Amino acid sequence: MTERMKPPVFRTVGTGWSDAFNAIGSMSGVAGVVYLILLPLAAAQVPLLDAALRDPQAFSFGHELTGIAIGIAQSFLLTPWAIVIHRYVLLGEVAQRYPFYPTHPRFLRFFGYTVAVMVMTAIPRLTFGPWPNLDRVSAVVLGIVGFTLMIVVLIVSVRIVIVFPSIAVDAAGADWRNAMRDSKGNFWRIFCIILLTVIPAGAVNFAVHWAVGKLLSGWPAIVVEALVTAAVSVAAIAALAAIASRLFAALADSLGPPSKLQAPRPATI
């Protein structure tokens, strides 16, 4: 493996957010479509977030499965946005319209990996759910199993984050094994970069949820919160895709370089 310079944490985070805002400015029409897609999804997630914050113990399997279903639907509709950002950062491509091509191999691979990560991260959370008629020993064992799975899933999820930009730019070695190989020894670095990227968006969403809950209720609260959350999510998804692209550029070896293949014919939604 070629020796590469490790990506600096704070500079990568700053560059990622800068890339995100530059991409939104250069592709404002595409970003607008993403915002309209996110609005109803954000509105659907508001009651789930409210239930989780009010009573975490009551957050049942039904809530968890509903959240997963919403997440998969969101990923299906927003896969083009993530791919557009990856290609903007790594190839300098500027999309003129929302390139929704769900039957293209690039889309299918990207979406498939996204769903796999979502399901994988949900499994440990389900082990901490309410299990009726469970004795203390079994509960402890189940808790240990769940915690172990959570650690394993966290490591794998962080290590394979660079597979997404590799798929987006059609790198020859784009698979999870090569991503694990190229990210070896960089878990904590990548984890800190991702964490510092999502903290601002998470803080804004939490503050908005708290403020709206104090001032409004019912549908007005859901609408206002969805309007703000959708806007934050447009930028946050772009920032995460941008930092993944920067990490790919810094670490990719086995994954291979970007391939300037002809992009599929775009379709609008």
Our count of domains for the chain comes to 1
Range scoring the smallest mean pLDDT among 26-35, 50-59, 89-98: 50-59
Kindly report the number of other CB atoms within 10 A of residue 22's CB atom.
Answer: 14
Q: What pLDDT, on the 0 to 100 scale, is given for residue 219? A: 79
The rounded distance, in Å, linking the Cα atoms of 46 and 236 is 17
Q: What is the DSSP letter of 57?
A: G
Residue 188 token pair: 């904590």
Residue at 2 is within a domain? no
Residue 54, pLDDT above cutoff 80: no
Q: What pLDDT, on the 0 to 100 scale, is given for residue 268? A: 44
Q: What is the DSSP letter of 261?
A: P
Residue 135, pLDDT above cutoff 80: no
Q: Is 55 helix (H, G, I), strand (E, B) or coil?
A: coil
Provide the H-helix boundaries in 92-217.
105-127, 136-159, 163-168, 176-182, 187-215
Domain that holds residue 185: 9-251
CB 267 within 8 A of CB 101: yes
For the CA atoms of 21, 25, 30, 31, the dihedral, rounded to the nearest 10 degrees, stands at 40
The 10s digit of each residue's pLDDT in 152-194 is: 999 999 999 999 999 999 999 999 999 999 999 999 999 999 9
Confidence of residue 49 (pLDDT cuts 50, 70, 90): low
Residue at 4 is within a domain? no
Higher per-residue confidence, 47 vs 253: 253
Question: To the nearest whole number, what is the mean pLDDT of the chain?
Answer: 86
Confidence of residue 129 (pLDDT cuts 50, 70, 90): low
Residue 35, pLDDT above cutoff 90: yes
CB 249 within 8 A of CB 2: no
Residue at 156 is within a domain? yes
Q: What pLDDT, on the 0 to 100 scale, is given for residue 180? A: 96
Q: What pLDDT, on the 0 to 100 scale, is given for residue 60? A: 56
Residue at 263 is within a domain? no
Residue 158 token pair: 């962080």
Residue at 82 is within a domain? yes
The 10s digit of each residue's pLDDT in 10-24 is: 999 999 999 999 999
Residue at 30 is within a domain? yes
Instruction: Give mean pLDDT, residues 131-147.
Output: 77
